[in-house]
Amino acid sequence: MLQIITNFWTTRAVYVLAKLGIPDLLKSGPKSAPELAGLTGMHAPSMYRLLRALASAGMLQTEADVRFALTPMSELLVTDAPGSMRSFVVSELGQEHYPAWGNFMHSIQTGGIAFDDHFGMDIWQYFQQNPEDAAVFNDSMSGMTAVVNEKITSLYDFSRFNKIVDVGGGHGGLITAILKANPQAFGVLFDAEQVISGARPKLEAAGVADRCAAIAGDFFESVPAGGDAYIMKWIIHDWDDEKATRILKNIRSKIPQNGRVIIVDGGKERSAREFDQLLTSAGFRFLYFANAPAASRSASGRYPQSLAISSAHAPIRGAIVSNNARASAAVRVSRFFAANPGKVKCQRDVTSNTQPAGGMSGSTCSAPAALSIKRSAR
Ligand SMILES: C[S@@+](CC[C@H](N)C(=O)[O-])C[C@H]1O[C@@H](n2cnc3c(N)ncnc32)[C@H](O)[C@@H]1O
């Protein structure tokens, strides 16, 4: 109980560690608290207490309580580590998300958004006004998406599509991974102007700029036309039903008859019934719902179990929706970053309106006991 109550002390300590860039400083080898305090301009005795607290949480290793070294967990906070979580930690536990969580009671009391109530604006307006925080957030999305991209491209077959539109695609990590895995496809990265301007150089650097248009706009107004697939990762969960329906309707007005909408979510998780209502109101038809448990290790298998504890209990989620009014489907699969590839490995085809008997078509999920699939009543 005490540990649960005091968990936020540890997470704030992790924030200080990441914000000060201490894992970067430890990349070259162990260092003492006075050395690290000198390099970061901090108070040495307090630095020592911080480092010992983090060592007790498995974030650092001590050498005779004098020098401190990286562990597999803090290696994930090195800025240029593949799938680095440094920006995510700084964004989630720092300037904007953390104070909003302090106002959590507001959400429970009113159903409103704690962030909006605390800051007097929504998070996207906040990022427009605070470009430094926006830059950290965009980097955090790129880092986190790097961890799940491979999972998404292996879970879903994009090879049938010619043009894939990533709606609210941030700096383009996901569309880049999809295009690299599917050399036949063209992509469209769509996001707000200030995000797209930062994305163009990244598409160039990744070598996909010649196959991927970067278009700025507002998904509440419209989305680019011409896609036969529209993917939204960590978008629909950001919005209430009215706003989510607006986004989906804008896609509905542009998508061809046999197009697909692929939704990958986390955060505001909708139940099967809620998804059904939402998709129906946007002109799609919900067919079935599946839920697989998260495994205790990450997609990459690199994280120690202790890091995965918070996500180990979280279900893994996603949705796949067809535009065919007679044959559309939503599938919740997983919170991808918590999935063990050995446990959750499903090939799905939701192009038909027939419910696969006893599970998902072609599924090789090894956790069928936890799968619950619902057929649409229509
Ligand atoms: C949670 S982030 C997800 C980014 C990306 N899909 C990923 O998974 O890494 C939400 C994205 O939606 C974009 N966004 C928010 N409001 C938008 C709007 N009205 N029109 C277009 N994009 C918007 C944000 O700029 C941000 O990049």
- Are 69 and 106 in the same domain? no
Residue 334 falls inside a structural domain? yes
CA-264 nearest atom, ligand 1: 8
Q: What is the pLDDT of residue 193?
A: 95
Ligand 1 in contact with 125 (CB < 6 A)? no
- Are 155 and 199 in the same domain? yes
Tens digits of per-residue pLDDT, 222-271? 999 999 999 999 999 889 899 999 999 999 999 998 888 888 876 556 77
The low-confidence residues of the chain, meaning pLDDT below 70, are 266-269, 285-378
Ligand 1 in contact with 57 (CB < 6 A)? no
167 burial class (0-12, 13-18, 19+ CB within 10 angstroms)?
A: buried
- Are 122 and 46 in the same domain? no
- Are 105 and 215 in the same domain? no
- Are 209 and 296 in the same domain? yes
The total domain count for the chain is 3
- Are 75 and 173 in the same domain? no
- Are 243 and 303 in the same domain? yes
- Are 79 and 104 in the same domain? no
Is the torsion defined by CA of 329, 333, 335, 341 positive or negative?
Answer: negative
- Are 164 and 110 in the same domain? no
If one residue of 152, 165, 166, 191 were mutated to test the ligand 1 pocket, choosing by the most ligand atoms within 8 A of its CB, it would be: 191
Q: What is the pLDDT of residue 116?
A: 96
User: Which is the catalytic residue, given 43, 171, 237, 313?
Assistant: 237
- Are 332 and 249 in the same domain? yes
195 and 127 Cβ atoms separated by less than 8 Å: no
> Residue 228: CB partners within 8 Å, gap ≥ 6?
161, 162, 163, 164, 255, 256, 258, 259, 260
- Are 79 and 105 in the same domain? no
- Calculate how far, in angstroms, residue 288's C-alpha sits from the geometric centre of ligand 1: 26
Ligand 1 atom 3: the closest Cα is on which residue? 234
237 is catalytic: yes
Q: What is the pLDDT of residue 289?
A: 52
Domain of residue 122, residue span: 97-129
Measured CA to CA, the distance from residue 168 to residue 327 in angstroms comes to 25
Q: What is the pLDDT of residue 203?
A: 97
CA-232 nearest atom, ligand 1: 6
Q: What is the pLDDT of residue 286?
A: 62
CATH of the domain at 259: 3.40.50.150
- Are 226 and 119 in the same domain? no
The pTM for the full model equals 0.73
259 and 248 Cβ atoms separated by less than 8 Å: no
Look at strands 186-191 and 212-216 and give their pairing. parallel
- Calculate how far, in angstroms, residue 178's C-alpha sits from the geometric centre of ligand 1: 18
- Calculate how far, in angstroms, residue 34's C-alpha sits from the geometric centre of ligand 1: 41
> Residue 259: CB partners within 8 Å, gap ≥ 6?
227, 228, 229, 230, 322, 323
Ligand 1 in contact with 124 (CB < 6 A)? yes
Look at strands 67-70 and 60-63 and give their pairing. antiparallel
